[in-house]
Amino acid sequence: MSALLQPARLRLGVNIDHVATIRNARWTSRGGGEHPDPVRAAALIAQYGGDGITAHLREDRRHIRDEDIARIQAATNLPLNLEMAATDEMLEIALRHMPHAACIVPERREERTTEGGLDAAGQHNRLVPIISALRDAGIRVSLFIAPEERQIEAAMRLGAPVVELHTGEYAHAEGEARAVELRRIADMAALAAKNGIEPHAGHGLTYDNVQPIAAIPQLAELNIGHYLIGEAIFCGLETSVRRMRELMDAAR
Ligand code: PXP
């Protein structure tokens, strides 16, 4: 294959939320709870082959806390992708910290993890001012959406430069159902790219399921967290990030 036809390198954004989850398990009103520090993970990820840091500041601060954001930015030159709900509070925090990117995610208080995609189509009016304020500030906006045509079309109407396709359904499916989900993601990555939107993907990706997703040529970035941090318990963060990087590169 000529260099011109070679697909671009797929970036790996490492989500460090669950380093903070473990830290917070020992937080008490009397203090403590500083170990393990997600900032230490952020500082190491560049050495291990990660291309960016992703962190989700949730309304209930169950993992990343406000003070972590500035500390992460100070500890690494890697771009920070701040995942945030479309609320005035989160917009104000994003504008104060000026991360490289903001990924707008749906958030429900009772969910354990981000269960579905953002309803970009149904929430047009709510999203317009938030997206334009972030864009005006020079923050790259992405929308975390289900791999559905109507959501891509909504992202186009909203002027989002990036969409992150939710791979949770793919990750949970098996056999033929997984093949159907994979095709949906591939088709929506192609549709986004054809319309000038950079497609990313993430959620539920593991060593076992990452390669068919990484092989989708239009995808520019994968954001992966829970599995990498979980694996790091057994083999260390360096091994888990490097192994994921190798699998992604081998799939291209
Ligand atoms: N991308 C987005 C937008 C997310 O909200 C998350 C975490 O829910 C991830 C990627 C990473 O997912 P996981 O932790 O399952 O790898």
Element at 120 (helix H, strand E): none
For residue 35, give every residue at least 6 positions away whose Cβ sits within 8 Å of its Cβ, in sequence order, or none: 23, 26
Does pLDDT of 41 surpass 80? Answer: yes
Q: What percent of the chain has pLDDT over 90?
A: 88
- Which atom, in ligand 1's list, is nearest to the CA of 103? 3
15 lines ligand 1 (CB under 6 A): yes
**Any ligand 1 atom below 6 A from CB of 201:** no
Pocket test for ligand 1, best of 22, 54, 84, 170 (most atoms within 8 A of CB): 54
pLDDT value at residue 108: 79
Q: Is the CB of 116 under 6 A from ligand 1?
A: no
Name the region of 160 (left: φ>0; alpha: ψ -120 to 50; beta: rest). beta
Mean pLDDT of the chain: 94
pLDDT of residue 1: 44
Q: Is 18 a catalytic residue?
A: no
- What are the domain boundaries of the chain? 12-251
Q: 142-187 pLDDT, tens per residue?
A: 999 999 999 999 999 999 999 999 999 999 999 999 999 999 999 9
**pLDDT tens digit string along 207-245?**
999 999 999 999 999 999 999 999 999 999 999 999 999
What is the spatial distance between Cα 208 and Cα 86, in angstroms, rounded to a whole number? Answer: 32
Return the pLDDT at 50.
98
Domain at 12-251: CATH code? 3.20.20.70
Q: Which residues of 86-124 are buried (b: 16+ CB within 10 A; e: fewer)?
A: beeebbebbeebebebbbbbbbeeeeeebebbbbbbebe
Q: Can you give the pLDDT at residue 8?
A: 75
The atom number, within ligand 1, closest to the CA of 164 reads: 3
Question: Whole-angstrom Cα distance, residue 111 to residue 203?
Answer: 14
Ligand 1: nearest atom to the Cα of 144: 3
